[in-house]
Amino acid sequence: MTTNDNRQHTRMAEKIAQIDSLCARARIMPVITIAREADILPLADALAAGGLSVLEITLRSAHGLTAIRLLREQRPELCVGAGTVLDLQMLAAAEEAGAQFIVTPGSTAELLKASLDSEVPMLPGTSSASDIMLGYALGYRRFKLFPAEVCGGTAALKALGGPFGDVRFCPTGGINPDNLQRYMALPNVMCVGGTWMFDSQWVKNGDWARIQQCSAEALQLLA
């Protein structure tokens, strides 16, 4: 193994440790798409007050990068990542905004390779064994299963645990209070992503107390 290979292996091991740490802290990771800039701080505060302090801010809206910048500046106690990163331009923009981790809905060789040279850890998306193998060959061992329920849910995760014994997942998509415990009971699940704790109508109405309560109740299911 060359010096460069050793350096890359060490860097990937550090990133895996970072992902493990933030997922252990999160347990449930809110996947947030900001519709109005005015919602950024009160929504984050309500989720954090309920115990959810690791936030995935998607880049699906024009306010995504603004939200990451604002939260990194105004709420440094939170762990803020960028989700729905689709290409190299979005990856660079998310890193520039201060994202502490990157989440993608799927995997491309271009994104996986680019992330190897980044200081920011990536949780690449997967929906199949082939996706996992693409990342596995580059050293990735932590993935987002998306969309989890459509991809087979807990049955798929159990099956993937056979050939990929050292891989762990953050399933997202279709997770709710009814199936949350089944996902978290699996040994290859490190946390889950979801949106049920901040219904869009609650956000629109500024019902922050309800969001705080729902967040706390979600974590209580895992107590």
pLDDT digits (tens, 9 = 90+) for 210-220: 999 999 999 99
Task: Reply yes or no on whether the pLDDT at 23 is more than 90.
Answer: yes
The residue type of 68 is: I
Q: State which H helix or E strand residue 60 sits in.
A: none
pLDDT above 90 covers what percent of the chain?
A: 94
Superfamily of domain 3-220: Aldolase class I (3.20.20.70)
pLDDT tier for residue 4 given thresholds of 50, 70 and 90: low
The predicted pLDDT at position 1 comes to 58
pLDDT tier for residue 43 given thresholds of 50, 70 and 90: very high
Q: What is the mean pLDDT of the chain?
A: 96
Catalytic residue among 144, 149, 204, 217: 144
Catalytic annotation on 144? yes
Whole-angstrom CA distances from 117 to 12, 108, 111 are 10, 15, 11
The predicted pLDDT at position 9 comes to 82
Question: What string of DSSP letters covers 78-135?
Answer: SEEEEE---SHHHHHHHHHHT-SSEE-SS--HHHHHHHHT-SS-EE-EESSHHHHHHH
pLDDT tens-place string over residues 58-77 = 999 999 999 999 999 999 99
pLDDT tens-place string over residues 152-197 = 999 999 999 999 999 999 999 999 999 999 999 999 999 999 999 9
Catalytic annotation on 158? no
DSSP 196: G
Is pTM, for the whole model, over 0.85? yes
The predicted pLDDT at position 32 comes to 98
Catalytic residue among 15, 56, 95, 149: 56
